[in-house]
Structure 1
């Protein structure tokens, strides 16, 4: 997935941190790079260009990712860089 700590994704996210791809819970593999994270997609049929939800869906509250990164949700919100396209959904 084309996001990393250069975009504000937490550098200390642990192996196994959840990510949603095609509404299927998948897990982070390995370390977070500056511009890239690797995700185990064996549980879904993923294609280049599919959407990935890093946090914020009802299935994946930001607190879950924050806990897996040994931080708090506010740090994740405020750490996003201008390179990131995001959508606020009320």
Structure 2
């Protein structure tokens, strides 16, 4: 099984209790989280991705195309805990 590794984990504020199957948007396509969330990384199943994305491809963990409500439900938590749990390890870029 092709597996992708994304450099974010519970040390960054990604929910530690996110279940296998929690969706991640990678190269515009939903891919499921597999295994446990570690401190610094998560793994995703790339079997249904037609072309394996190159290293450095942006992954969307939640946002406009992937509602926070859906991710919160997969992690058995609430939206506010997701957005307030993001740690200082994550770079913030403010846009007007």
Q: Provide TM-score, normalisation by structure 2.
A: 0.85
Q: Which residue of 2 aligns with 1:52?
A: 59
Distance 2:11 2:39 in 1: 5
- The structure where strand makes up a greater share of residues is 2
Q: Deviations over 1:29-81 (max 9, x none)?
A: 000000010001222221110000000122x1011000000000000000001
Aligned pair count?
89
Gaps of 5+ in 1: none
Whether contact under 8 Å (1:9, 1:76) holds in the other structure is yes
- Displaced runs of 4+ in structure 1, greater than 3 A? 86-90
Residue correspondence of structure 1 range 1-90 to structure 2 within 5 A: 1-44=6-49, 45-58=52-65, 60-86=66-92
Which of these two proteins has the greater Rg computed from alpha carbons? 2
Q: Provide TM-score, normalisation by structure 1.
A: 0.91
1:86 deviates by 4.7
Gaps of 5+ in 2: 1-5
Closer, same or farther in 2 for the Cα pair 1:75/1:5, shift >3 Å?
same
1:88 deviates by 6.5
RMSD (Å), alpha carbons: 1.6
Distance 2:22 2:70 in 1: 8
